[in-house]
Amino acid sequence: KAGVTQTPRYLIKTRGQQVTLSCSPISGHRSVSWYQQTPGQGLQFLFEYFSETQRNKGNFPGRFSGRQFSNSRSEMNVSTLELGDSALYLCASSSRTGRNEQFFGPGTRLTVL
Amino acid sequence: GENVEQHPSTLSVQEGDSAVIKCTYSDSASNYFPWYKQELGKGPQLIIDIRSNVGEKKDQRIAVTLNKTAKHFSLHITETQPEDSAVYFCAAMGGADGLTFGKGTHLIIQP
């Protein structure tokens, strides 16, 4: 079974721009969660999508948004990029929402200049 | 919301010795506790997990224990090998906030 895939793997943007990251979950998994990883704050939960609906949301500003498609693929968008948005963005796939195993992709490394 | 503390931040052990990493959590509603291993340039890999109705779980050289009363859980790795060198994260899931992670432990296996 193929694992979680994320594209692109690396991205460089400038302040004020917007970015869209993509995640394809493990086949058959319907839940996709997004996390931000930085050296200072560690791993922080952004949001979770299940069956095209946002189920949970972490403590991030409205510039961070996401969506999920009918094939369970998910995208996250960050608008008006700030230097502090530089991070590794990780997507995790799960067979169902709730307290269940989450399997992570390799991440997208975003650098904001 | 949930808060997870993880210790130590760095752990150096001799190859073949055991390693123990400890975590505490704050939300008594949390009932799922996974451990992840992250190698350089990769995403976190789920290595073992435990639910609150179980006190201990073992998988070959790796074991996890959970004390619900004290709100702490630990990862035990026995007979450590060079390939165990990585950053390990504990996490807890409670309510509707996704996984809350500890800050990570950098495990170094000395030859």
Question: Which of B9, B45, B97, B105 would best serve as a mutation to test chain A binding (most A beta carbons within 10 A)?
Answer: B97
Q: What is the pLDDT of residues A56-100, one digit of tens each?
A: 899 999 999 999 999 999 999 999 999 999 999 999 999 877 668
Mean pLDDT of chain A: 94
* Burial of A43 per CB tally in 10 Å (0-12, 13-18, 19+): buried
Q: Which of B32, B96, B103 sits opposite A42 (nearest CB)?
A: B103
What is the band of A42 on the pLDDT scale with cuts at 50, 70, 90? very high
Q: Are strands A108-112 and A10-13 parallel, antiparallel or unpaired?
A: parallel
Neighbours of B39 (CB within 10 A): 12
User: Cβ–Cβ of B98/A56 closer than 8 Å?
Assistant: yes
Quick one: pLDDT at residue A39? 93
Do the Cβ atoms of A103 and B101 come within 8 Å?
A: no
Q: What's the pLDDT at A2?
A: 80
For residue B26, the model assigns a pLDDT of 94
Q: pLDDT band at B94, cuts 50/70/90?
A: confident
CA distance B97 to B84: 30
The DSSP annotation for A28-39 comes to T--EEEEEEEET
Q: B69 is written with which tokens?
A: 């009363």
CA of A2 vs chain B CAs: smallest distance (Å): 14
Q: Determine phi and psi for A84, rounding to 5 degrees.
A: -70, -5
Tell me the pLDDT band of B97, cut-offs 50, 70 and 90.
Answer: confident
- The predicted-structure confidence for B14-38, as pLDDT tens digits, reads as follows 999 999 999 999 999 999 999 999 9
- The reported pLDDT for the residue numbered B96 is 66
B106: closest CA of chain A, how far (Å): 13
Choose the mutation target among A5, A9, A45 for the interface with B, i.e. most B CBs under 10 Å.
Answer: A45
Share of chain A above pLDDT 90, in %: 90
